[in-house]
Amino acid sequence: MKLIRTRNETPAPELAETGHRHTWKLLVVDDEPDMRALTRINLKGFRFADRGLEIIEAGSGAEARAMLALHADIAVALIDVVMETDDAGLRLVEFIRKDLKNMLVRLIIRTGQAGLAPERYVIDHYDIDDYKDKTELTATHLYTTVRSTIKSYRDLRSIDLNRVGLQHVLMAAPDIYRISNRSLGQFFQGVLTQVVALCNLSGNSFISTIDGVIVTFDDLETTMQAASGSLSSQERFDHIRTECSQAVLTGKVPEMLRKDAYVVPLLVQGKPVGFIYIEPTHDLDESDRALVAMMAQQCSSALENLRLHVDLTKSYDHMIDMLARIAEFKDSATGSHINRIDQYTRLVAIELGLSDEEASHVGKASRLHDVGKIGIPDTILRKPGKLTEEEYAIVRTHTHIGKSILDNDAFLATACEIATHHHERWDGTGYPEGRPSREFHIATRIVSVIDVFDALISRRPYKEPWDPQLAAAEVERGAGAQFDPAVVTAVLKLFREGCFNTIIRAAQEADAHSKKRILEESQHSFANQVSAKRIA
């Protein structure tokens, strides 16, 4: 995994900015104004990791609580013990650790009355990081203490960010092999959070101000999968996307990006499919670069899984459509019926509480409910009159034929059950097995209802189409005997709310087209007969 380092030596404009976003925050809690002023003088010009120091003052424990509410990102607190009460400082420590549950801020007890708060007792009983007598905190010692505790805060904050990032990745991991847009997005955000952490970065400026982004592309489409800070803005993203896309596609070092920025290509089978872009305040060492490359490899693996998943889904859809087209070719009268069943099924499934993804799956599966009719003779399928008992028995075998076609394939399990059992009844008097339909998948019970509804409103060789209102009434009469009552309720609700209107119009248009075709065929047949008689 190649890391492309930028060569632009012009400092990023944001690095020259000043303000709270670029400072470490030190809370000084002391009821003596002179002590607070002396602390400020002794720490004048303090800098660590290219960031200055912002000193926040409080003259009592109560004022300190107010400052903590305003500044959630305080790195270090210097706390006097004796203020409005003899233990005000110790109570403040307990408030920070127990009430605020802030375990990151570094706490230093600084007291001028050690006898009221003995060092060993305070260290043993309070979660503090250091204990200093005011007399020993000279300018040099104060600088050293503040610097070491800020460094400790930075490291702890970095570990915490890494933990948060890992949590995102682990939460997304169970879904990586059944990828959805949501799980993939969560995965990428978790990876970016970890990259930010290991580079000592942070989107909310606790650690630094530099940003990162993960981008993927497919042909001409570019997608921002995760971003932090200013890179979330469209203007900055457009600039980064253009420069970095060119870099990973050509292998050339981008000239117009910030100094020390890194572009890490995402590769699937050696082909660039995206990149991670980061902007650390300083050049990363070899170990950090190796970690970034490892994260990039994880992103690449997730993308490869996604593409395999998409290819598999497309293959499944193609197989469904192919079998559905075979059934349509066999019985042209029910060809558009197959498409409508799909649409009805999705709507009813969602109404019954299935997710969009589940509804899509059962909708596709419903397309094969009559696939077994490819084994029924045309003379029976297209017979214009009523079927004999023997002919009807042959038609009923389409459920067995459908099962034999779709069985033993895990991807077609739902389609197989629908094709086999959509003529079973709620009261157990249906076919082929005569089992109560409550024993079968909800998709099968949905198709049982809407198959009848759509057949009633559609033209068949043996009947004229019904008015939709009459068809709905017929379905309602079958609730509890032929059909699952809950499914009937959902179907009628959608019908009465007009949710089926577009599908019903499609059925009526198909009927008009079929009627016209039959008329034209009849006229053509009559003309041929007349012509034959004249020749004779």
* Residue type at 349 in one-letter notation: A
Q: At 106, is the secondary structure helix, strand, or coil? A: strand
What order do you get walking across the sheet with 130-133 strand by strand? Answer: 47-48, 51-58, 23-29, 76-79, 106-111, 130-133
Closest CA to 228 of 240, 218, 217, 219: 240
In contact, 90 and 81? CB cutoff 8 Å: yes
CA 18: distance to chain centroid?
Answer: 37
Q: At 54, is the secondary structure helix, strand, or coil? A: strand
Look-up of token digits 């498409």: 339
Look-up of token digits 């998948």: 441
| Pairing state between β 23-29 and 51-58 | parallel
From 373, 463, 493, 515, active-site residue: 373
Which two structure tokens, joined as six digits, stand for 189? 């955000």
Q: DSSP labels for 356-422?
A: HHHHHHHHHHHTTTTGGGGGS-HHHHT-SSPPPHHHHHHHHTHHHHHHHHHTT-GGGHHHHHHHHHT
Please say whether the dihedral angle defined by the alpha carbons of residues 89, 94, 95 and 96, taken in this order, is positive or negative: positive
Please say whether the dihedral angle defined by the alpha carbons of residues 319, 322, 326 and 328, taken in this order, is positive or negative: positive
H/E stretch holding 463 reads none
C-alpha span between 304 and 317 (Å, rounded) = 20
DSSP3 helix / strand / coil % (the chain, rounded to 5):
60, 10, 30
In contact, 200 and 280? CB cutoff 8 Å: yes
In contact, 128 and 145? CB cutoff 8 Å: no
Closest CA to 451 of 330, 326, 373, 344: 344
C-alpha span between 325 and 311 (Å, rounded) = 21
H/E stretch holding 171 reads helix 139-172
* Residue type at 45 in one-letter notation: G
Residue 373 bears catalytic tag: yes
Residues designated catalytic: 373
